Amino acid sequence: MTFKKLLFVCMGNSCGSPMAEVIMQNLMVKTSLYWEVDSAGLRTWNTGRRPNKRCLQILREHGLRSDHFCRQ
């Protein structure tokens, strides 16, 4: 089986793209889609760090969690 791949990209991979990745993964579970989903940043500012605290808080408020570490 060949999986489609989806990459969300933002400037630093610390908020927008990690949130989009987690939300999409959650939607795929609900709809039985099987895609490879990832996120990355254009810059290396946050490489190796956890996403923005506000980003993680918003995800938690919606019952989602992320083990993401920022990458380029």
Catalytic residue positions, numbered: 10
H/E element, 9: strand 4-10
Q: Judging by beta carbons within 10 Å of its beta carbon (0-12, 13-18, 19+), is residue 70 exposed, middle or buried?
A: buried
Longest dimension (CA), the chain: 37
